[in-house]
Structure 1
Amino acid sequence: METVFSQLLTKYIHSKDINVYSMAQFCGADRANMYKYISGDRKPPSLELVRKMSAFMQLTPNECDSLLEAYNIASVGAKTYYRRKAILNLLTNFENYTISESSLTTVPPSRSIPLAEVTVLNGQTKLLQYIFDILMLESSKKNGYVRLLMPPDFPAVIEYLVSLGYHEHTLKIEHIFCLNNAEQSFHHEQPYNLECLRKILPLYVCGCSYNSYYYYKDSPPDESLLSLFPYLVLTSENALIFSESLMKGILFHNTASVSLYQEVFQKCIQTVLPLATKIPDVMSQLCYLQKLDLKTKNTLMFEPVPCMTYFMPESFLEKYVYKDSDFRSSTLELLTLFFSQAKENFKNSKTSFIFTEQGIRNFLETGRIEEYPSNIYAPFSTKDRLYLIRLFMKTCDPSQMYLLRDHSFPARNGIYIYITPNNGYLMIPVANESLEYSQIFLDLSEPGLLTDFYDFCSYLKDDCCYSYKDAIGRLENILLEYQ
């Protein structure tokens, strides 16, 4: 049976006039098996064999990458492969999805909103300008409140909101959009639900109060007022509905119409579910972590530095939490309780730690653990840094320690994952230095996203890490460098 791999392999063999028997000899493979690889009746047993085949055929780097990708697709299936690839791209290129002052969309001065109670809008340029106008006007209010009923597929609108939210931290945005719960929820080889998450992440980290909600295509909000123009941008004074093509719309600038659409939105939000709940400050994060089911035996954690909460002596709290902090007493009390519960649960759980060499080195150089905000504790001493890593190595058994071979993950300021089959969260650095907190938690609620992230972490654990023996050896060598 032909596969995407066998089809591409056959194409290269024919185009480059390859002698199959000679290639089998070069690769150390049985000729009969090589013909089965070509026909699709059998899959090569390893990526290493595929690399040898590529070398014999003298493929270009792009051709080699295409053949390796085809092999991976044939191995796990297209849907699983592209889901994993999408999450990998999100983690390794996270800086491309965040924002900086220089990357923000320039916010033009707001124009005066027309006094007409109803304005018909034609053309994408005109419609976008009016969307920008009403968003700018709302963000300038003391407690601006924007409600969106639209997919995150309009980058100009999302980027404009990110720019407004970066400067106006009190701006509140509630966003409802549709996700796909069908197995084939892909768009141009991109998993649609993961793409939606990627597109809205800048709104979560820019500094404003942003929350997203979802519904599925087979259970849309029942609202006849949105049948002709299905998308809505709603503020305290304006309601703008528009078409999927962003070519036609109507702006309502009167109290009766705006109130009507506010009722519509409120009705919709009662029938949808939160996609991911933003948890910004450290006290709320600790309370949230206490409520998580840490006794789950299938817990996977992806962080450049393994979570040290399970191993850290409680004496470190008194030693390193800043003594001049206004919240030192309450922070110590909450951390002490959390540490105690976490260690007790760790004894009965089976948490797997997926981490990187770069993360270990960064911790040994800085004394910082990014899961805890840097403004509440002092950097650990070099002696204590080495002690913690050795304690981690001593405490974990081979089924818990997974050192990644891949060096492309950022050592700091990246996305960290805590995931079980039933719940999980992402820890994400904020992109606004003027905020009092340095990272947020996103509590994942949508079942499909939970499944995708759990599958990805399982894949990292099973297929992308050194053996336990090799991991211990590499960690020992790193520790020797810093002693």
Structure 2
Amino acid sequence: MSQFSELLREYIKKKDITIKALAEKCGIDRTYLHKVLKGERKVPSVDFVENISLQLMLSTEDKSRLMELYNISEMGEDVYNRRKQVSKIIHDMANTNMEDPDVLTFKTEVDIDSVPEISIYTDKRELRKNLQVLICSDVHNGSDIQVIAQPTEFLTNLLSIAAEGSESAINHLFFFDNTSYEKNTAKYNLDIFPFICHLAQKHEKYEAFYYYEGASAYFNSTNIMPNIMITNNFLIRTDSDYCEGVIYRSQPMVEFYMRQFEKFKTKCAKLLDHAVDILEYVYFWYDDNANFIGVDFQPCTMLCLTEDIYNAHALLPADAKKFVKAKLTMGKKALSEHKFVNLFSEKGLAEFMTTGEIFELPRNSYTFPTLAERKIMLQIMISLCENGMADYRIIKNDYFAVSKNLCINISDNTSLNIIARNNCFSDFSYLKISETSLVQAFWDYFQHFIDSDAVCSHEETIEILRSYL
């Protein structure tokens, strides 16, 4: 018997109703309902669950639990949990303000010569306090940070404190779990991805490198001090939870571990690429020979620019203007050869048609197109949609994925692009991730999302687009 069947039996018993009476209320065959409750028949649809929930007068919480078990029965527990995890990551990113400081910069200066050559810590508070003091002091004096450690909330906060306002580079080496792609890998890698993403969005000089390992093998290893941090003056080794550790102020130790760090780094793959301005970001556009999904607050308008509109409104130097135009031409050609799905909010469409602001670009790179020009762009959008060159789809109910702060572009099993904006849209953070398990998890989530009730159909979207002409 499935978990769904067990829970439904429990709800029926609590409501003190017979299976025959419930079947009649729901307008379904009593024998069929019996077989569903025994786990001998598959639950037919979401509508079936909605109907049962209504007739049993389930609370919102009970209905949600029943629907969750239905989804698990449809997708399998691993797929369901992975999609749920991706959903949470997107929700958290969409609701994060780039301008909100997470921590205060640590200002204390340290007399290096007064630090013991070897300090052993068995108290968590003392270890973490001294990690912050010594790393921040070295970074304040121009040191980079080299790290071999799994991403965690504590490490993210520590590196954020240390690098805040500095030009120091952070080179971070860690593993992704490859023990079993179908189960452990996607879940574990998604667990640590938000910490990596957070640091990458805050610090342009944060560089992440990964190698493949099994999480259970790593954490069960005999290495009792797996975390390593190196600055100009200090070598730091701690346990995996930063509860105990050793800090060395020894140049021979620092130099020895730096050499080992550099050797290890050559065996790792780079996880992500940054773009620091609009021209570098343009290199991310349409450079994959694959199907493509874009999710943003507004519909993708860059592909609807005519040459006249582009020339009239682009505020770029001549060479840059020419380069961007060439990339747009490549993008339109790519659309004719591959499938492009664009998910967006109707509020975003309305805002573009009212103001002419294009969220895909920093405000200082263009002037707003006129209303007449916006209508031309909308007509091109509808034409692309009707001709099958693009599948524009409106996300219902301002779902969390359509945030003004966030844009996600993903190519079929190739790359994941994350664009985070600040509130005034003058500064963007551009990240491109190519690691397979992350890309496939996001691709699978959006493919499923497109087919859900949260997204308007192709035809419904065209009808809404036409209403704005």
State TM-score, norm by structure 1: 0.87
* 1:28 to 1:280, Cα distance in 2 relative to 1, 3 A: farther
Out of 156, 159, 162, the residue aligned to residue 158 of structure 1 is 156
User: What does residue range 157-176 of structure 1 map to in structure 2 within 5 Å?
Assistant: 157-168=155-166, 170-176=167-173
Identify the range of structure 1 (107-116 vs 228-237) with the bigger mean alpha-carbon deviation: 107-116
Q: CA deviation at 1:276?
A: 1.8
Out of 443, 462, 466, the residue aligned to residue 472 of structure 1 is 462
Could you tell me the percent identity over the aligned residues? 21
Query: Partners of 2:397 and 2:268 in 1: how far apart?
Result: 39
Name stretches of at least 5 consecutive residues in structure 1 with no aligned partner.
none
2:408 counterpart of 1:417: yes
Aligned length: 462
Does the Cα contact within 8 Å between 1:281 and 1:437 map onto a contact in 2? Answer: no
User: What does residue range 82-481 of structure 1 map to in structure 2 within 5 Å?
Assistant: 82-101=81-100, 103-105=102-104, 107=106, 109-113=108-112, 114-142=114-142, 144-153=143-152, 155-168=153-166, 170-181=167-178, 182-183=180-181, 185=183, 191-218=187-214, 227-289=223-285, 292-293=287-288, 295-296=289-290, 298-322=291-315, 327-397=316-386, 400-409=391-400, 411-430=402-421, 438-464=427-453, 465-477=455-467, 479=468
* 1:328 to 1:339, Cα distance in 2 relative to 1, 3 A: same
Does the Cα contact within 8 Å between 2:146 and 2:230 map onto a contact in 1? Answer: yes
Does the Cα contact within 8 Å between 1:240 and 1:250 map onto a contact in 2? Answer: yes
Does the Cα contact within 8 Å between 1:166 and 1:208 map onto a contact in 2? Answer: no
Q: CA deviation at 1:458?
A: 0.9
Query: Partners of 2:338 and 2:149 in 1: how far apart?
Result: 41
Query: Partners of 1:107 and 1:432 in 2: how far apart?
Result: 26
Query: Partners of 1:430 and 1:215 in 2: how far apart?
Result: 30
2:57 counterpart of 1:68: no
- Counterpart residue number, 1:50: 49
* 1:366 to 1:213, Cα distance in 2 relative to 1, 3 A: farther
Identify the range of structure 1 (441-450 vs 353-362) with the bigger mean alpha-carbon deviation: 353-362
Query: Partners of 1:443 and 1:204 in 2: how far apart?
Result: 10
User: 1:36-57 CA distances to partner (integer Å, 9 max, x unpaired)?
Assistant: 2222222322212211211222
2:77 counterpart of 1:78: yes
Identify the range of structure 1 (11-20 vs 131-140) with the bigger mean alpha-carbon deviation: 11-20
Query: Partners of 1:234 and 1:226 in 2: how far apart?
Result: 22
- Counterpart residue number, 1:38: 37
Q: Which amino acid in 2 is paired with 1:21?
A: K
Q: Which amino acid in 1 is paired with 2:460?
A: D
Q: Which amino acid in 2 is paired with 1:58?
A: M
Does the Cα contact within 8 Å between 1:5 and 1:67 map onto a contact in 2? Answer: yes
Helix, strand or coil at the partner of 1:380: coil
Helix, strand or coil at the partner of 2:49: helix
Query: Partners of 1:221 and 1:172 in 2: how far apart?
Result: 30
Does the Cα contact within 8 Å between 2:407 and 2:420 map onto a contact in 1? Answer: no
Q: CA deviation at 1:92?
A: 2.8
Does the Cα contact within 8 Å between 1:214 and 1:273 map onto a contact in 2? Answer: yes
Identify the range of structure 1 (101-110 vs 48-57) with the bigger mean alpha-carbon deviation: 101-110
Q: CA deviation at 1:74?
A: 0.9
Q: Which amino acid in 2 is paired with 1:424?
A: S
Q: CA deviation at 1:117?
A: 1.3
* 1:68 to 1:196, Cα distance in 2 relative to 1, 3 A: same
Q: CA deviation at 1:278?
A: 1.8
Q: CA deviation at 1:432?
A: 9.5
Helix, strand or coil at the partner of 1:93: helix
Q: Which amino acid in 2 is paired with 1:80?
A: V
Does the Cα contact within 8 Å between 2:136 and 2:161 map onto a contact in 1? Answer: no
- Counterpart residue number, 2:23: 24
Q: CA deviation at 1:124?
A: 1.0
Helix, strand or coil at the partner of 1:353: strand
Q: Which amino acid in 1 is paired with 2:62?
A: E
Does the Cα contact within 8 Å between 1:123 and 1:246 map onto a contact in 2? Answer: no
Q: CA deviation at 1:4?
A: 2.5
User: 1:279-313 CA distances to partner (integer Å, 9 max, x unpaired)?
Assistant: 221111223436x12x43x3222223232233211
Does the Cα contact within 8 Å between 2:201 and 2:431 map onto a contact in 1? Answer: no
User: 1:179-220 CA distances to partner (integer Å, 9 max, x unpaired)?
Assistant: 212236559xx9221121112222112244111111222499
Q: Which amino acid in 2 is paired with 1:25?
A: E
Q: CA deviation at 1:408?
A: 2.0
Does the Cα contact within 8 Å between 2:233 and 2:250 map onto a contact in 1? Answer: yes
User: 1:132-166 CA distances to partner (integer Å, 9 max, x unpaired)?
Assistant: 11221133124x3111111112x233123224434
Q: CA deviation at 1:430?
A: 4.8
* 1:105 to 1:196, Cα distance in 2 relative to 1, 3 A: farther
State TM-score, norm by structure 2: 0.90
Does the Cα contact within 8 Å between 1:98 and 1:201 map onto a contact in 2? Answer: no
Does the Cα contact within 8 Å between 1:363 and 1:369 map onto a contact in 2? Answer: yes
User: 1:359-406 CA distances to partner (integer Å, 9 max, x unpaired)?
Assistant: 212322332222222221112222222321221012223672322234
Does the Cα contact within 8 Å between 1:150 and 1:176 map onto a contact in 2? Answer: yes
